[in-house]
Amino acid sequence: MLRRLAVAATCAAVAAGKIPVVLVADVGIDDAAALLWLLRSPSIELLGIAASFGCHGDVRQTAANARRLLRAAGAPCVPVHVGSRVAFGNWAPNEDDGKYIHGADGLGDVPLLKGEADLGTCEHDLDESLSSAEFIAQKARERPGEVTIVVTSPATNLALAVVLEPRLPELVKRVLIMGGAIDHPGNVSPLAEANFAHDARAAKVVVDAFSSENGERLVIAPLDVTMRAMATVQQMQQLTSAGVGGSLLAEAWRQYTTNYCQVLKFCGSHAAVHDAHPVAYLLHPSLYANGTRVESVEIMVTEPLHPSNGHSLVDRRQLAKEGIVDDRTGDVTDMIKPRATVLVDVDGDAFLGAFFGTVIG
C-alpha cells in the first residue's frame, strides 16, 4: 500500500512538471537561503536533505538545523538524513569548521522565535534511517535520469554516494554545487573556498566523476560569482513577512554580517548569499546568461589547512583549449578533458529580486 502511494506521488510530481531535488547541505546561514528558496518554489519537489558537516563540525548539529528550518518553514515532513562525521578518507573530524562565521550552533545562534515552539510536526513517522550517501544513491536508482543534486556544503556525502553507486553520474540528471574559487581569491586560504577546502578529496571525486565532454552535467558556482550578489540586513528583514522560517534567516543574517566583518574584514551591513546560487541557476539560468564558462577544473588535494588544499585549478594556457597538453613535449592530443559549467558572473539585482520574490511570495 505504501509503495503504491509513493509511486502515485512520484507520478503526480512528474505530471506536474516538478524538478525532483536532493539537497546536500551543512545547513548554516546561507544554506538556509537556498533551502527556503527550494521550499517556496512551486517547480521543485524536495525529496530530502543529505546533511553534511561544514558550517558546524558536527553533522548532527547541521541536521538539527535543517529540521529546525524545515519545521519553521512549514515543511516538517521533508526527511533529513545524517551524513559522514569525517571528511572523505579520514578517520577523525576536521580540526576546523565554519562556526566562526555561522555561529556556535552553525545557524546564527538565534534563540527560539515567537510562535516557533507551537509549530506543527510531521503527522507520520519519517524514515531517516539511511545515511546521506545511501539516501542519495537510493533516490538516483529509484528515478534514473530525473534527480538533480544541489550541493551547498563539503561534497563528502556525494563522493561517498559515488563509491556506493559508481553509476551515479549516469543516474542523476545534473549536479549543481557551490564551491571553489577560479580567478577570485579564496575565503579560507589564499587559494581555496570553504566547501572545497573542508573536504578537498571529496570535491575532487565529485568534480572528476560528474564532469563531462559538454560540461552540462556539473555546474560549479565558485566565489567568482557568489561574491557578486550581496544581501543587506535591511533586505533580509523583508523575510519576516514570510513566516517563522523567513524570520529565522533574517535574524541569523545579522550574525552573519557581523562575523563577516570581524573575521574576514569584509565590513558593511551585507554579505554574500553564496549557497543560493546553485538554486538560482537551476530555476533561473538566464540570470547567468553572460557569466558562464565551460572549463576543465582540477581540485588540488594537499595537506589539510595548506593554502592550496581544495584549490580549483583551471589550465589557462591557450594550448589547453585545443586538448590535453603534454607538459614535457608541448604536444596536444585530440582528447578534451571532461569539463564543467562554471558560473563567473550574475545579474546581482535580478538574482536578489528572484530570491525575495519567491521566498516572500
Backbone angles phi, psi at 22, to 5 degrees: -110, 125
User: What pLDDT sits at residue 4?
Assistant: 39
User: What pLDDT sits at residue 318?
Assistant: 66
Closest CA to 187 of 173, 174, 198: 198
Instruction: Give the Cα separation of 146 and 141 in Å (integer).
Output: 10
pLDDT tens per residue, range 33-79: 999 999 999 999 999 999 999 999 999 999 999 999 999 999 999 99
Strand partners, 80: 49
Amino acid identity for residue 338 in this structure: P
Instruction: Give the Cα separation of 33 and 246 in Å (integer).
Output: 9
pLDDT in tens, the chain (361 residues): 434 344 445 445 454 689 999 999 999 999 999 999 999 999 999 999 999 999 999 999 999 999 999 999 999 999 999 999 999 999 888 888 899 899 999 999 999 999 999 999 999 999 999 999 999 999 999 999 999 999 999 999 999 999 999 999 999 999 999 999 999 999 999 999 999 999 999 999 999 999 999 999 999 999 999 999 999 999 999 999 999 999 999 999 999 999 888 877 778 889 999 999 999 999 999 999 999 999 999 999 999 889 999 999 998 776 677 777 777 887 887 777 899 999 999 999 999 999 999 999 8
Strands 340-343 and 297-299 come out as: unpaired
User: What pLDDT sits at residue 7?
Assistant: 40
pTM over 0.85: yes
DSSP assignment string, 221-253: E-HHHHTT-EEEHHHHGGGGGGHHHHHHHHHHH
Q: How far is CA 216 from CA 84, 167, 292, 315, in A?
A: 28, 17, 11, 19
Residue 38 has which C-alpha cell?
Answer: 527550494
Instruction: Give the Cα separation of 50 and 27 in Å (integer).
Output: 10
User: What pLDDT sits at residue 96?
Assistant: 80
